[in-house]
Amino acid sequence: MLVGVLRQFPSTTPRARARSIAGALLGLGLVASASAACTSDSTETTAGSDSGDTSDASESDETSGATSGSSETTSDGAMTTGSDASDSDTGDAAPVYEYARGIRLTSMSANQGVAVDIVRDGVALPEDEYSSRLVAGRYTLLRAHWNLHADFEPRELIGRLTLTRADGTRYVDDFTVMVGGPSTDASLTKTFSWLLPPEEVVAGMQYRVEAFEADAATAAGEVSEPPPVLPLPGPGALALHTSPMRMQVTLVPVLHQLDGCEQAPVITDADVKAMREELEQANPVQEAILTVREPMPYTDPIGGQANGFSPMLNALSMLREADAPPDNVYYYGLMESCDGYPSGLLGQALGIPSAPLPELAHQRVATGRYWGNGADAAETFVHEVGHSQGRYHIACTGGEAGTDSSYPHSNGRIGVWGFGIHDHQLRSPTRNRDYMTYCQNEWVSDFGWEKVFDVIETLTSWEMSARAEDDARASAVLIGALEPDGTSTWWTARGSVPAADLTPGVTLTLTGPDGARELAAHHGLRPDSSTYNVFAPLPDDVARYTALELRAAGELLVSRSLEDVRVLHERSR
């Protein structure tokens, strides 16, 4: 089996303390690169990658060519190879090789989860031509593709990546691979590939790729003109989004107490790690922060409910309001039921926020089955939190309700090659489906990546300022959950109802001895549910009223005493 070897060499910098680069590159077959090769002539053959190859990677392609161990880089750029950090006194320069013969480099891609072309036809692309945004401080896979001359003889070649930081220090990474045919998207050993640790993915860095002979004595043919370098005009600048990008989730174990049974998930550090890594792989973040709350007692049945997990979501929403976490924190319930589950139901979300606004924090609530461990719970977790981020379903099986009609790829396909920054696995653009479908082989699409990008950036920015939360806490919303059997549950929370979310023809009227007040309201189905959400702004003079009436197109839907409403927003301010 041919094995791709990762080798790293010191740059010309003084002695420094080395630190580990986590996640040494594993052998994969993955990212799609740019579309067209450099101008060809009669001595070249066209690479598969430059023909738009989107074939699925085989099992062996995804796991072959592994490199073992980790590498170290120093804060000032000195680099060593090995598994332990050490001092370096040498400051040796990277070895000098001859340019590879019979090969021309054509294109490059960067992949933090979804593939992004950064060099096409030898020329670095400007940021406005990137298909997706890239995040500073996140693991990044860079790949370079090639064309071969017709008389090329198979042999090992070295692909060298040189990063020049803003302070002039360099990061040099050599990748040795057997080259015997066209480069292809579906195999790591058919491209030059480098995995950058987060600390090297920084604003102001420039990149340059060169192909060298591993053994000049075995080389045949001529060096191409221009030589095998990318970008051709000179080093390229990798456009990076430098804002902090984080997600914060509170995991809530549900303590189910029913008919003498008491059962709750015991969430371990390994569970949290599995769920965190799945969330980080699917979202453009530097980190996801997951914390485990004390269990929430829950005494209603779970299995066989016609309204699914809606009663559980009501309880979780009330819990979130009582806890009064920051507005950017998602709440996610994990359950192990005493009486089973509604048929076919894995998880649900309370709502789909229409915009990343602090006043919609009460909708950042979802729940799902625990399945005995975090790894098995992770896919449902990412899907349901996706709803809480504002994402709708993507059509795939035909069973998805409330789908996003703007999705650009057929049958829920992800559209570009995907890469896991933690599991180092390749995802095919045709075999894998967006995580908001009901299909298997779920991954994030380029569409999904961009859909949540601004949401994550906005919610993270609230950590830097208390103003957004102060504004949200100054108002309150009346929340109702209307079940198919005619029952309803009502409570209050911090927040408000954006004008764009109000449902035409729906009114909520507050009545009392001194008169009535009519309010516009939102009335819509929950995701994956037959329960209707009602959101209405709560007026400051609500104490004047004693009852509420909800109408849609003049028809009375609900009439309740305000004594039935759990008032939670006042204690959470």
Q: Which residues, other chains included, contact 177 with Cβ-Cβ below 8 Å and sequence gap of 6+?
A: 2, 4, 5, 65, 156, 157, 159, 189, 191, 192, 193
Statement: residue 42 has pLDDT above 80: no
Statement: residue 445 has pLDDT above 60: yes
Q: Which two tokens stand for residue 158?
A: 């070295």
Predicted local distance difference test score (pLDDT) of residue 44: 34
| Cβ contact 280:288 at 8 Å | yes
Question: What are the tens digits of pLDDT across the range 508-530?
Answer: 999 999 899 999 999 999 998 99
Report the DSSP beta bridge partners of residue 253.
Answer: 334
Please give the DSSP secondary-structure letter assigned to residue 217: G
Statement: residue 469 has pLDDT above 60: no
pLDDT band at 243 (very low <50, low <70, confident <90, very high): very high
| Cβ contact 364:388 at 8 Å | yes
pLDDT band at 548 (very low <50, low <70, confident <90, very high): very high
Predicted local distance difference test score (pLDDT) of residue 337: 96
Domain ranges of the chain: 5-237, 246-464, 475-564
Statement: residue 73 has pLDDT above 50: no
Report how far residue 286's alpha carbon sits from residue 280's, in angstroms, rounded to the nearest whole number: 8
Report the DSSP beta bridge partners of residue 482.
Answer: 488, 532
**Spatial strand order in the sheet of 522-525:** 488-494, 476-482, 532-537, 522-525
Question: What are the tens digits of pLDDT across the range 160-173?
Answer: 999 999 999 999 99
Which of 513, 481, 205, 214 minimizes the C-alpha distance to 363? 481
Question: What percent of the chain has pLDDT above 70?
Answer: 82
Q: Which two tokens stand for residue 231?
A: 């970008």
Predicted local distance difference test score (pLDDT) of residue 462: 96
Statement: residue 316 has pLDDT above 70: yes
Statement: residue 114 has pLDDT above 70: yes
Predicted local distance difference test score (pLDDT) of residue 187: 86
Statement: residue 572 has pLDDT above 60: no
Question: What are the tens digits of pLDDT across the range 268-282?
Answer: 999 999 999 999 999
Report how far residue 506's alpha carbon sits from residue 503's, in angstroms, rounded to the nearest whole number: 6
| Cβ contact 373:398 at 8 Å | no
- The residue-averaged pLDDT of 344-352 equals 96
Statement: residue 40 has pLDDT above 70: no
Phi-psi map region of 97: left, alpha, beta (phi>0 left; psi -120 to 50 alpha)? beta
What CA dihedral angle connects 18, 19, 20 and 21, to 10 degrees?
-90
Phi and psi at residue 458, to the nearest 5°: -65, -50
- Tallying the residues shown for the chain, one arrives at 573
pLDDT band at 127 (very low <50, low <70, confident <90, very high): very high
Which of 512, 506, 504 minimizes the C-alpha distance to 562? 512
Predicted local distance difference test score (pLDDT) of residue 351: 97
Predicted local distance difference test score (pLDDT) of residue 28: 34
pLDDT band at 95 (very low <50, low <70, confident <90, very high): confident
Question: What are the tens digits of pLDDT across the range 397-406?
Answer: 999 999 999 9
Of residues 345 and 72, more confidently modeled: 345
- The residue-averaged pLDDT of 5-25 equals 30
What radius of gyration, in Å, describes the C-alpha atoms of the chain?
28
Q: Which CATH number fits domain 475-564: 1.20.1070, 3.40.50, 1.10.357, 2.60.40?
A: 2.60.40
| Cβ contact 494:323 at 8 Å | no
Report how far residue 431's alpha carbon sits from residue 547's, in angstroms, rounded to the nearest whole number: 54
Report how far residue 210's alpha carbon sits from residue 230's, in angstroms, rounded to the nearest whole number: 7
Helix axes 269-282, 374-388, angle to 10 degrees: 40
Statement: residue 8 has pLDDT above 80: no
The least confident of 148-157, 260-269, 469-478 is 469-478
pLDDT band at 189 (very low <50, low <70, confident <90, very high): confident
Predicted local distance difference test score (pLDDT) of residue 323: 97
In the numeric block, the tokens 């979501």 are attached to: 313
Question: What percent of the chain has pLDDT above 90?
Answer: 77
Q: Which two tokens stand for residue 57?
A: 């990677």
Statement: residue 157 has pLDDT above 70: yes
Residue type, 424: H
Write 94-97 long-range contacts (CB < 8 A, 24+). Answer: 94/9, 94/10, 94/11, 94/160, 94/162, 94/172, 94/174, 95/9, 95/174, 97/158, 97/160, 97/212, 97/213, 97/214, 97/216
Q: What is the pTM of this model?
A: 0.85
Question: What are the tens digits of pLDDT across the range 96-110?
Answer: 899 999 999 999 999
Predicted local distance difference test score (pLDDT) of residue 30: 30
Average of per-residue pLDDT values in the chain: 85
Report the DSSP beta bridge partners of residue 479.
Answer: 491, 535
User: Residue 189, CB half-sphere, CA atoms under 13 Å: how many?
Assistant: 23
pLDDT band at 470 (very low <50, low <70, confident <90, very high): low
Which of 563, 516, 510, 570 minimizes the C-alpha distance to 537? 510
Domain 246-464, CATH homologous superfamily name and number: Collagenase (Catalytic Domain) (3.40.390.10)
Predicted local distance difference test score (pLDDT) of residue 473: 61
Statement: residue 31 has pLDDT above 50: no
Distance of CA 75 to the CA centre of its chain: 28
